[in-house]
Chains A and B, each alone.
Chain A
Amino acid sequence: MSSYRLPKGGLVDREAPLSFTFDGRPLRGFAGDTLASALLANGQMLVGRSFKYHRPRGILTAGAAEPNALVTVGSGGRTEPNTRATMQELYEGLEAQSQNRWPSLDFDIGALNGLLSPFLGAGFYYKTFMWPAPLWEKFYEPFIRKAAGLGKASYEADPDSYEKSWAHCDLLVIGAGPTGLAAALTAGRAGARVILVDEGVQPGGSLLFDTAMIDGKAAADFARAASAELQSMPNVRLMMRTTAFGWYDGNVFGAVERVQKHVRDPAPHLPVERLWRIVARHALLATGAEERPLVFGGNDRPGVMMASAMRAYLNRYRVAPGRATAIFTTDDSGYALARDLEAAHVDVVAIVDSRSSAGVDYRGKARLIREAVVCGTKGRKAISAIEVHRGGRTETIAVDALAMAGGFSPIIHLACHRGGKPAWSAEKAAFLAPDGLKGLDVAGAAAATTDLAACLAEGATRAKAIVTEFGLSCPPVVLPKVEGDEGRHTAKPLWSIPGVKGKAFVDFQNDVHLKDIGLAVREGYSHVELAKRYTTNGMATDQGKLSNVNAIGLIAKARGVSPVEVGTTTFRPFYTPVSFGALTGAHTGHHFQPVRKSPLHDWAKKHGAVFVETGLWYRSSWFPRTGERTWRESVDREVLNVRKNAGLCDVSMLGKIEISGRDAAEFLNRVYCNAFLKLPVGRARYGLMLREDGMIYDDGTTSRLEENRFFMTTTTAYAAGVMNHLEFCAQALWPELDVRLASITDQWAQMAIAGPKARTILQRIVDEDISDAAFPFLAAKEVSLFGGALHGCLFRISFSGELAYELAVPAGYGVSVADALMDAGKDHGIMPYGVETLSVLRIEKGHVTHNEINGTVVPADLGFGKMVSATKSDFIGKAMLQREGLAASDRPQLVGVMPLDPSQSFRSGAHVLATGAAATLENDQGYVTSSAYSPHLGSTIGLALVKNGSSRHGEEVMVWDGLHGESSPARLCNPVFFDPQNQRLHV
């Protein structure tokens, strides 16, 4: 295979040769090459196999729209399938593999699909694989998935990192071609905050292969100078290798920056890709235009290429397309290519022009065939000849490359991402962005402006208008002088070509050909949205960049209407595929979600805690000791020790809210269903908060520390929700109340000291008298500790049913105070205990948590009916609580449950059935909400919500667990299993 690289010129660095491999074969290229240009320079025309028919495919474009040249780059965890070779920068050591071929690219068994093609037309899934249905999942789908191919994702973890960032600007310019550069320069010089993004490696866009002179400089040099000036402006950020992929609400643009996709070994301190969200006061879409393919037979053969792409490979990368090139054109752009090819001494065999006359006076050596079309091509794995159809006759001409110039479609995707529909312009023969967009303008080729001078002028004047609107004064715009630009005269679209031979592809990536479109229309799927889905045209990863407009034109032609009546399908982000890595950003692994650490975390860790994740918190579950073989042994010991001696438990993660203001008590009276107005200073009270529908929302204790200062606790799970709810009540419902809410959860390390010896231990560090007389059950106050060295809050409340306190101290002193308590209690048998023990202790006492407060219970269901104030005129939930159904006798009510045989057990979630009843939904009596092994009773115990449960104590039932295949006879009972008289609380 010989080199197609021309000896000099271009924007590649011939001093910097690079080696790479394609399907394991070592090849060479230069810095500045894309993988595509390097493959072409090496004469590698065949680079992949097509999706459905496994047809040989080459490189069609030189940019983002590439549908054919999809390859897998990299290996191991860095494997990146479906990489467009046209967008992949070449780097030393790049490994590329072709896709969708077996056993090899040259010899592909899947190509037999081509023979089956009569059965694989549009809608073949629906027709061929309808019966028998069971085969769909087992056979058809796996078969289709295996045969229809894109690259394979790696199963290895991605070793690289990704991140996200925000950026803000007055003007976002999308596209650094002539229009975008002119716009950015104008706005930048006016002092606006400008961001200019472009998916390419260097600014310039079409200037990088244009042969026009701007202000006496080569176009590429003009681009270089413009970019240097932009980079010197502190108010301008130039972001290359960055694709703006979507336009979102609030004028936010999504963009992905390929930070290290052009290196073999990414530096670990940098992400490989960065996802940008750019907030722009205004944006200018200067994305240029996409050249349309022409739909003739064999238009997919390797060697057939878009004319503008061929010009880019020739002028920018200095790669000749072949030895004998033909150009099939419908506008004047084909002649610029012919001139450039001939200037580079590449033979142009023929120019086939569909028109009767051209706008340029062609004087080159190529044979000019007017009023003619290319109707077919020949060749196996590369083009060898074209068939030219003229005046009813077909002539075969030998070529090894063919350019096609079907006219240009403005790239307006982003302008349509927020619901706008493109509008067909008969004058421009193109779909244009909708009018009246807010915050976004379209300029240059993206607005169907064709000549270079006009693009430069349009970019500058639009930018000037936009920044002037912002109140900036803009220096007069000086337009550069353009010479040697032939412009691009509007092509008359040539949707259908007479005499087409063989498959003429509309959508290259999804293998949709001309006949598929016709079939869809004939079978009634002529609506553009239906035709798209029936044929899959435009549904590949290229989203129909090359195919949609042609498909619309062909549908219009088949229906005998204008494209305006066919309309377009919906444009949605993303403009080009964005990796999951970039969308995920940095929030993976250790950074997946925040960890919320209790101030006593290290204390618990020191005592050997086993932690459990509770929301974002890490809570200590239990504290195993040497010799204990199961968690139950540890928990039984902790439970017994709390009831015999004392235990210390970290309860810092309970939500804590300070409520103050003149109307604080009135506020609490309205958010709790029970009374709070007359709670005395220095006392705590258990409160139930309802939702507006009458169901219980959350519970906790609230203490009145001063006349207008309360300390509320919430459950751990609902801490954030309760705070939001209280703020809603204070701000949106009753702004007339003087109430102030501060979250103080993190300010306090809070520990429960529970057990008969709790007071003795606590009194050693608390300065005040905490005897039962001085500090009775439900007392609450600020206390001084260690002779005034520290101040905290002490609450005599008990979740365990024991003599118990909760002590809150400033969080930074938490560990030190817990250490002091352990020291003070060491002769009294104090032990740390975790949430498992906490749970056993509360179930023994029949105390509820969110296991019971499950969103369907009202206070009476849990035995709290008498707590609900009958006298308050209003509280959240009062009105709906009056509903008679909520007082029905068969409502699920809290009840205790124990197995008849203590050697049997059951689990939470098990259902309660009448003895002997079948396990059916109709027979369901309720379910076990919480269960634990009580070491005091030597049996499993449970709390359950059972129909009319409070009146059924003593009744024998069956506890049935279909999930685990367990059932045990049990007895309903009082939910308070331990110390029902609460004698231990009041000692």
Chain B
Amino acid sequence: MSDFRPILRPALATKKAVASAALKLSPLPEGTILHVLARSGEQDIVPLLDSLAKPAAHAVRPVSPGQWFIVHEEPMHHKEMKSLFAALEPRATGVDQSHGRVRIRIEGKMASRALSKGTAVDLDPSAFPIGQSAVTLIGHIAAHLTRVAPEAFEIIVLRGFAESLWDDLARMSLEYI
């Protein structure tokens, strides 16, 4: 079946963006999410990650001590990914999470208010500036949150929970739509 071309089915394929002047919630295209896990004791690895990531804002996002996500809008070819992973060694390991994680964007002047219905992280710009990331519970679901603009956040969530989190976010946004 070498002529067969598998078709990608995005986890949030059936979800349409919801938007108003105050808030917009939208599923992001399933591009590339690489999970980088540094060797213990490894210092200053971020410049290496920056050099390997595509030149885009917030392409490298901290996950936890010694771990990052490298995020690209576009899917990455298998070979390209393998060579990126090879370039990380031996300082770090790369794990493909492009399908294991799903991105959602929430933006607008009420975005942080809506998110505060789920997370206990203080989202005031003074405490959570642009570029800051945190893994936190949003309601009952753990997710990775990054402020990508003064009034915009990206959420990275496990694929299996993506629909549930979307439904929760939509409900949390209801009063601003």
Contact = CB atoms under 8 A, between A and B. Distances in A.
B26 interface: no
A270 interface: yes
Interface string A770-795: 00000000000000011101110000
Interface string A809-827: 1111111110010011000
A185 to B, nearest CB: 21
Interface in A559-594: 586-587, 590-591, 593-594
Nearest to B157: A746
B99 A820 contact: no
A570 to B, nearest CB: 27
A735 interface: yes
Interface string B1-32: 11111111111000000000000000000100
Contacts of A786: 1-6
A757 B120 CA distance: 53
A464 B7 CA distance: 63
Contact of B7 (A163, A594, A742, A816): A816
Given A593-B140, A787-B3, A790-B6, A740 B100 contact: no
Interface in B136-161: 139-141, 158-161
A515 interface: no
A165 B164 contact: no
A764 B175 CA distance: 52
A789 B75 CA distance: 13
Contacts of B30: 812
Interface stretch (B33-41, B45-53, B54-62): B33-41
B93 A661 contact: yes
A602 B2 contact: no
Q: Is the interface of B mostly helix, strand, loop or mixed?
A: loop
Interface size class of B (residues with CB under 8 A): 35 or more
A810 B102 CA distance: 13
B120 A277 contact: yes
Question: Which of the listed residues A586, A740, A748 has the most CB atoms from chain B within 10 Å of its own CB?
Answer: A740
Given A742-B35, A746-B160, A812 B117 contact: no
Interface in B83-109: 90, 93, 95-101
A748 B160 CA distance: 11
B165 A594 contact: yes
Given A597-B163, A746-B99, A586 B139 contact: yes
Given A586-B117, A787-B2, A820-B1, A598 B40 contact: no
Tell me which of A167, A767, A811, A817 has the highest count of chain B C-beta atoms within 10 A of its own C-beta. A811
B132 interface: no
Contacts of A738: 39-40
A816 B9 contact: yes
A594 B164 CA distance: 5
B34 to A, nearest CB: 11
User: Per DSSP, are chain A's interface residues mostly helix, strand or loop, or mixed?
Assistant: mixed
B116 A765 contact: no
A677 interface: no
A475 B124 CA distance: 24
Contacts of B35: 742
B160 A596 contact: yes
A279 B160 CA distance: 31
Contacts of A742: 35, 37, 93, 95, 97
Interface string A741-758: 111111110000000000
B37 to A, nearest CB: 4
A558 interface: no
A599 interface: yes
Contacts of A594: 139-141, 161, 164-165, 168
Contacts of B10: 812
Contact of A735 (B11, B40, B99, B101): B40
A119 interface: no
A735 B40 CA distance: 8
A193 interface: yes
B82 to A, nearest CB: 9
Given A740-B38, A789-B5, 17 more contacts: A165-B113, A167-B116, A270-B174, A277-B120, A591-B167, A599-B99, A660-B95, A661-B93, A662-B90, A742-B93, A746-B99, A748-B99, A767-B2, A813-B9, A816-B6, A817-B6, A820-B1
11 contacts: A163-B172, A617-B160, A738-B39, A746-B100, A746-B159, A747-B95, A747-B97, A786-B3, A789-B6, A811-B100, A813-B99
